Amino acid sequence: MCHRSSPAARQATANRPPRTLPLTLLGRLRILREDYKESSEVLEQALAAEPENWTAHNLLADAYLRLQEFEKSRQQAQLAIETAKGAGNAARIPLAEALASLGRKPEALEALAAFLQNAPQSSIAPQVRDLMAEIKRRESDPIDNSQNSSTPTAHLAPAHLLVAKDSDFSIKSWEPPGIDEVRPSVATGVVCPYEKVIEETGKRMAQFVDDVAQFSAIEDVLHDDLDDLGKPITKKSIQFDYVASISADYPGFLGVDEYRNDRNDEAGVGEFPDQIATRGLPALALVFHPDMRRNFQIVCEGLGEWNRQATWLLHFRQRDDRPNRIKQYKIGDRTYPANLKGRAWVSTTTFQIVRIESDLVSPMPQIQLLGEHQIVDYGPRAISHEECGTMVATACRALL
């Protein structure tokens, strides 16, 4: 088994004046916490150091919008569009909301129409159209038009959540697109046999657990430290003797234990760069095991393909009312459940999972983890009879 672990660079960025990326990330985190006043102060610091930072302008526009400082929000959104040099389409959303709240509804509609023209397939396009309809309704309502121009427009969703879902906005330019940012194309007019797909996929996972209760491999880890533009600063390659064991500790729960020995040294988390061990990749597909799948909302999105083979696309998301038994972070003596969402590609002929991707459902500010994206490809290869296949995985994290 091999995987690539690529956390965002922290030390190199922090030591480079000005420290605009950490400030920008901190500003975004505080927006997610709905601490808009502190967010605006941090983002103003970032812009004082780097006035051309369009992402900070964009986030500050949103913070001002939540603080109902609409003229400041409009100015920051406009600056984001101007400084982004064609990449700031997402800033048109807070721009439109600010304009609408200032009573400049025709200009707000123009901004939203421009957003849709530049990103007609955006995952938030339906929400943008709903916002346009709401603004048009208020424009035609004589009661609304008679109100003071500074009356806030009704926000259908927080702008920072809309922006965060748009594929052309990312502080973490090195990170792959999120699960819900880019949806794979599916065949039109094909009905997904959901019950059969779920049942057969569950059988394959149960068989996998029975057949491979324990397996060993040589694991190659490539760790990159990246700058804020996604360019490698340092690289480190490590090779481990790897053993994974899957056990049914009690009904309804499957445990995965992993053991590593650095082939050139002793085992331990300390052998991983930045003291971060990448663990839990073998457990990802267990989402579809009959004993585990009840903890997830699973939707069949339709018929797609992967590597020229037909596949059913299954979207999954941790349920709020069910326990998290797939992934946790352990820091010191405390554990932090990491709720996951993702997508699996399932062969239409064998019902084997051939690919799976996952994201965090939401950032984890308590451990300063903004995002994590995992990709695992499964497939057979010509190997010795003691082995069953190969798994190539990528794990990338964005840390504050």
Closest CA to 3 of 383, 377, 381: 377
User: For the whole model, what pTM was predicted?
Assistant: 0.54
Q: Is the pLDDT of residue 3 over 60?
A: no
Q: Is the pLDDT of residue 382 over 90?
A: no
Instruction: Answer positive or negative: Cα dihedral of 39, 41, 44, 46.
Output: negative
Collapsing DSSP states into helix, strand and coil, what is residue 232? strand
Q: Is the pLDDT of residue 71 over 90?
A: yes
Residue-range domains of the chain with CATH: 2-165 (1.25.40.10), 194-399 (2.50.20)
Closest CA to 59 of 10, 21, 86, 108: 21
pLDDT reported for residue 99:
92
CA-based end-to-end distance of the chain: 29
pLDDT digits (tens, 9 = 90+) for 108-153: 999 999 988 888 777 678 888 888 888 888 777 655 554 444 444 4
Q: Point out the least confidently predicted range of 64-78, 243-257, 380-394.
A: 380-394
Please give the Cα distance from 87 to 85 (Å, whole number): 6
pLDDT digits (tens, 9 = 90+) for 174-191: 566 778 877 888 998 899
pLDDT digits (tens, 9 = 90+) for 289-336: 888 899 999 999 999 999 889 999 999 999 999 988 888 877 777 888
Those residues whose C-beta lies under 8 Å from the C-beta of residue 336, and which sit 6 or more positions away, are: 328, 329, 330, 364, 366, 367
Closest CA to 204 of 288, 295, 103: 288
Q: Is the pLDDT of residue 380 over 80?
A: no
Beta bridge partners of 329: 336
For 183, half-sphere exposure in the C-beta direction (CA atoms, 13 angstrom radius) is 16
